[in-house]
A and B are shown apart, each in its own frame.
Chain A
């Protein structure tokens, strides 16, 4: 067992983990952040996307020990009390989901995309989300939601970040 201290959604958690524990497993099973999902487990689908020190990563392909001493933001840390993050709100308003399984990862990657490129073209949005798969929507409304949210993230109206 190895001791790790990871700040998740603003709270520091110290736990003993086996080195082979994946970050997503640690988030879901030890910390109880079940908002972050596992879709494929093979680094393809992006459902497990979280931010590690401010950049998006696939948490099924990071070890919990690699996150020791670092900061993780999950979809559960986005809303400010009852106030949704602008990207969450845009996904809701543009109906950018059907079953919702890809949504936590899509939202986390959309935020990462908008932080790097506050005014993306449609092409840049599609490329920026290439690591996130959706089996339901056909992506149209997801692209719309990111377009709707563009600007608001850059303008700093984001809740937790």
Chain B
């Protein structure tokens, strides 16, 4: 399978890239990051852009750094880098746990955090952690830079706050230092997309959960923050019974997809089971 013909540009700066993107008119333009979602789409000819703008030659879009109380991940940082970075391990364990589960090693060597977020596949594994960790996404466009909270970033199926002529440049996370974390991913075979997954991270105080963040993968067209469960978990004892009761309503109000992997009821049941497992594992109880 070979993509339809396109022109290719690899600009050297964000400004140059934005200029190419704004030159649109009737031409269809696609941004290329790691290509691990875009190239399959082009090969299957689900898209046939006139121009592909590769971000790989723009300096400063990769890497992970500290910036005051934030940890900043460049949009072009690969899943492999996120999964193996010491800053991420120390302050964003949930993101690291999820990044390790994405696809396979070869795909993780190419695919980027920014690409996964802008692609916004509802079964993508990095959306729920980004939502749960209250990240902010920095988007550059012709009008300058703007910062969008994760809660407003994911807008629908494969749709985000990033416009056609914009670029996601970095993802900024508040530190969750010392928080336990678990990305509980359910698949039928390895190297598969999530049927359902639950991202959970907790701050412990003594034997109890002081604070918890929980978000769901593939329980709707966007990742879902389980706010009422988070409230129920605050101050909850880290026992199977107490956690089980706190997460029992995790699927309430969701409209999960139905497909060959399971119907909506099956997914709702799965979310409850996975949420209990994820929170207990994050709390260090297995």
**Which residues of A are interface residues toward B (Cβ below 8 A)?**
2, 18-22, 25, 41-44, 46, 49, 52, 55-58, 61-63, 65-66, 109, 112-113, 127-128, 130-132
Which B residues between 24 and 78 are near A, CB-CB below 8 angstroms? Answer: 32, 35-36, 39-40, 42-43, 52, 54, 56
CB distance from B232 to the nearest CB of A (A): 34
Do residues A25 and B2 form an inter-chain contact, with CB atoms below 8 A? yes
Do residues B56 and A66 form an inter-chain contact, with CB atoms below 8 A? yes
Q: Closest residue to A42 on the B side, CB-wise? A: B40
**Which residues of B are interface residues toward A (Cβ below 8 A)?**
1-8, 10, 32, 35-36, 39-40, 42-43, 52, 54, 56, 80, 103-107, 109-110, 190-191
Identify the interface centre among B10, B39, B105: most chain A CB within 10 Å of its CB: B105
Bound CA span A65–B57, Å: 12
- Chain A interface main SS type: mixed
Do residues A56 and B109 form an inter-chain contact, with CB atoms below 8 A? yes
Q: Closest residue to A113 on the B side, CB-wise? A: B105
Do residues B107 and A131 form an inter-chain contact, with CB atoms below 8 A? yes
Do residues A20 and B2 form an inter-chain contact, with CB atoms below 8 A? yes
A-B contact pairs, 25 of them (CB 8 A): A2-B8, A18-B5, A19-B8, A20-B2, A20-B42, A22-B2, A56-B106, A57-B110, A58-B106, A61-B107, A61-B110, A62-B39, A62-B110, A63-B35, A65-B10, A66-B32, A66-B56, A109-B105, A127-B190, A130-B105, A130-B190, A130-B191, A131-B105, A131-B107, A131-B191
Do residues B52 and A128 form an inter-chain contact, with CB atoms below 8 A? no
CB distance from A85 to the nearest CB of B (A): 19
Identify the interface centre among A43, A128, A132: most chain B CB within 10 Å of its CB: A43
Do residues A130 and B104 form an inter-chain contact, with CB atoms below 8 A? yes
Do residues B190 and A63 form an inter-chain contact, with CB atoms below 8 A? no
Do residues B54 and A65 form an inter-chain contact, with CB atoms below 8 A? yes
Q: Closest residue to B80 on the A side, CB-wise? A: A55
Specify which chain A residues have a CB less than 8 angstroms from the CB of B105 in the assembled complex.
Answer: 56, 109, 112-113, 128, 130-131
Specify which chain B residues have a CB less than 8 angstroms from the CB of A130 in the assembled complex.
Answer: 104-105, 190-191
CB distance from B140 to the nearest CB of A (A): 22
Specify which chain A residues have a CB less than 8 angstroms from the CB of B52 in the assembled complex.
Answer: 19
**Contact (A49, B40) CB under 8 Å given A19-B52, A55-B80, A66-B54:** no
Bound CA span A52–B103, Å: 18
Do residues B107 and A19 form an inter-chain contact, with CB atoms below 8 A? no
Bound CA span A22–B38, Å: 13
Q: Closest residue to B5 on the A side, CB-wise? A: A20
Contact among B7, B35, B42, B43 with A66 in the assembled complex (CB-CB below 8 Å):
B35
Q: Closest residue to A58 on the B side, CB-wise? A: B106
Bound CA span A56–B42, Å: 22
Specify which chain A residues have a CB less than 8 angstroms from the CB of B1 in the assembled complex.
Answer: 41-42
Q: Closest residue to A44 on the B side, CB-wise? A: B191
